[in-house]
Structure 1
Amino acid sequence: MSVTFQACYMVKPMEPTQRGRVPLSEWDQIGTIYHVPTIYFYRPSKHFDLSPNYTNIASTLKDSLSRVLVPFYPLAGRLYWIKNGRLELDCNAMGAQFIEAQSSLSLEDLGDFSPSSEDHYLVPTVDYTLPIHELPLVLVQLTNFKCGGISISIAISHALADGPSALHFTSEWARLSRGEPLQTVPFIDKKVFRAGEPPLAPLTKCRVYSEFDDLPLLLDQTKRTEERKKKTDVAILKLSKVQVETLRKTANESLRPTKSRGYTRYESVTGHVWRSACKARGHKEDQPTALCVCVDSRGRMEPPLPKEYFGNATFDVVASSLVGDLVSKPLGYASSRIREAIERVNDEYVRSGIEFLKNQDDLSRFQYPYVTGSEKGLLQGDPNLSVVSWLTLPIYGVDFGWGKEVYMGPGPHDFDGDSLLLPGPDGDGSLLVAVCLQEVHMDAFKKHFYEDIE
Structure 2
Amino acid sequence: MGSVVTKSKPFLVAPSKPTPRGKLLFSPIDKIQILRSLLVSSVHVFAHTDGGGSVEIVNTIRQAISEALVLYYPLAGRLVDVGDGDLYIESTGEGVGFVEASADCSLEDVNFLKHPSVIPLEELVVDHRGWRVTDPPVVMQITKFTCGGFALGFAWHHLLADGTGAAQFLNAVGELARGLPHPTVDPVWARDSLLDVPPKMSSLPLSTPNLLQLEYSELNIPLDYINRTKENFFRQTGQSCTAFDVALATIWQCRTRAIGLEPTEPVRVYFAVNVREMLQAQPGYYGNSIFFQTVLSTSQEIAESPMVEIIKIIRSAKGTISTELTKWKRGLLKDSPMEHVELSYNTLGITYLKNLGFEHVDYGSGKPLSVTVRNEYKFVSFCVLGSPHTRENRVYINGRIVKKEHLGALRKEMELLK
Give yes or no for TM over 0.5: yes
Q: Indicate the residue corresponding to 1:372 in structure 2.
A: none
Q: Indicate the residue corresponding to 1:174 in structure 2.
A: 174
Contact 2:13 2:96 in 1 (8 A): yes
| Compared CA separation, residues 97 and 350, structure 1 to 2 (3 A) | farther
Q: Indicate the residue corresponding to 1:369 in structure 2.
A: none
Q: Find 1:229's aligned residue among 213, 216, 230.
A: 213
One-letter amino acid of the structure 2 residue matched with residue 108 of structure 1: E
Determine the C-alpha separation between the residues in 1 that align with 2:393 and 2:108.
26
Determine the C-alpha separation between the residues in 1 that align with 2:297 and 2:172.
41
Q: Find 2:273's aligned residue among 290, 295, 298.
A: 295
1:409 aligns with 2:372: yes
Q: Indicate the residue corresponding to 2:6 in structure 1.
A: 4
Q: Find 1:278's aligned residue among 250, 256, 279.
A: 256
1:339 aligns with 2:312: no
Q: Indicate the residue corresponding to 1:68 in structure 2.
A: 68
Q: Indicate the residue corresponding to 2:44 in structure 1.
A: 40
Determine the C-alpha separation between the residues in 2 that align with 1:106 and 1:200.
55
Secondary structure of the equivalent of 2:169?
helix
Consecutive aligned runs of 4 or more in structure 1 exceeding 6 Å deviation: none
| Compared CA separation, residues 427 and 307, structure 1 to 2 (3 A) | farther
Determine the C-alpha separation between the residues in 2 that align with 1:224 and 1:160.
24
1:147-205 deviation digits (Å, cap 9, x = unpaired):
4332111111110100110111111111111112311112221123347xxx64546xx
One-letter amino acid of the structure 1 residue matched with residue 247 of structure 2: V
Secondary structure of the equivalent of 2:71?
coil
Deviation at 1:307, TM superposition (A): 4.8
Deviation at 1:341, TM superposition (A): 3.2
Task: Flag structure 1 segments of 5+ consecutive residues without an equivalent.
Answer: 215-222, 367-377
Matches within 5 A, 1:351-390: 352-353=328-329, 355=331, 380=343, 382-390=345-353
Determine the C-alpha separation between the residues in 2 that align with 1:247 and 1:171.
34
Matches within 5 A, 1:240-319: 240=223, 242-252=224-234, 255-256=237-238, 261-301=239-279, 304-319=280-295
1:423 aligns with 2:387: yes
Q: Indicate the residue corresponding to 2:359 in structure 1.
A: 396
Matches within 5 A, 1:11-90: 11-30=13-32, 31-33=34-36, 34-49=38-53, 54=55, 56-90=56-90
Secondary structure of the equivalent of 2:89?
strand
Report the count of equivalent residues: 405
Contact 1:250 1:331 in 2 (8 A): no
Percent identity for Structure 1 against Structure 2: 22
Determine the C-alpha separation between the residues in 2 that align with 1:273 and 1:326.
10
Deviation at 1:3, TM superposition (A): 2.0
Determine the C-alpha separation between the residues in 1 that align with 2:391 and 2:172.
22
Q: Indicate the residue corresponding to 1:121 in structure 2.
A: 123
Contact 2:352 2:387 in 1 (8 A): no
Determine the C-alpha separation between the residues in 1 that align with 2:358 and 2:159.
20
Determine the C-alpha separation between the residues in 1 that align with 2:249 and 2:122.
30
Contact 1:293 1:387 in 2 (8 A): yes
1:288-330 deviation digits (Å, cap 9, x = unpaired):
11111111111223xx323532100013221111110111222
Contact 1:19 1:91 in 2 (8 A): yes
Secondary structure of the equivalent of 1:321?
strand
One-letter amino acid of the structure 1 residue matched with residue 349 of structure 2: S
Contact 1:28 1:159 in 2 (8 A): yes
| Compared CA separation, residues 344 and 158, structure 1 to 2 (3 A) | same
Contact 2:15 2:93 in 1 (8 A): yes
Deviation at 1:254, TM superposition (A): 5.5
1:382-435 deviation digits (Å, cap 9, x = unpaired):
322111122223332422112332222224747462212222355899633334
Normalising by structure 1, what TM-score?
Answer: 0.79
Q: Indicate the residue corresponding to 2:191 in structure 1.
A: 190
Q: Indicate the residue corresponding to 2:407 in structure 1.
A: 442
One-letter amino acid of the structure 1 residue matched with residue 98 of structure 2: F
One-letter amino acid of the structure 2 residue matched with residue 118 of structure 1: P
Determine the C-alpha separation between the residues in 2 that align with 1:148 and 1:428.
24
More deviation, 5-14/101-110: 101-110
Contact 2:35 2:158 in 1 (8 A): yes
1:100 aligns with 2:100: yes
| Compared CA separation, residues 177 and 246, structure 1 to 2 (3 A) | same
| Compared CA separation, residues 44 and 380, structure 1 to 2 (3 A) | farther
| Compared CA separation, residues 120 and 331, structure 1 to 2 (3 A) | same
| Compared CA separation, residues 307 and 389, structure 1 to 2 (3 A) | farther
Contact 1:38 1:154 in 2 (8 A): yes
Secondary structure of the equivalent of 2:386?
strand
Contact 1:396 1:425 in 2 (8 A): no
1:28-66 deviation digits (Å, cap 9, x = unpaired):
0122232212111223332344xxx52x23321111001
More deviation, 399-408/106-115: 106-115
Q: Indicate the residue corresponding to 1:373 in structure 2.
A: none
| Compared CA separation, residues 356 and 140, structure 1 to 2 (3 A) | farther
Secondary structure of the equivalent of 2:351?
strand
Determine the C-alpha separation between the residues in 1 that align with 2:70 and 2:323.
31
One-letter amino acid of the structure 1 residue matched with residue 252 of structure 2: W
Task: Flag structure 2 segments of 5+ consecutive residues without an equivalent.
Answer: none
Deviation at 1:11, TM superposition (A): 0.9
Determine the C-alpha separation between the residues in 1 that align with 2:371 and 2:86.
33
Q: Give the superposed CA RMSD.
A: 3.3
1:42-96 deviation digits (Å, cap 9, x = unpaired):
23332344xxx52x23321111001111111111111111132111111111111
One-letter amino acid of the structure 2 residue matched with residue 75 of structure 1: L
1:326 aligns with 2:302: yes
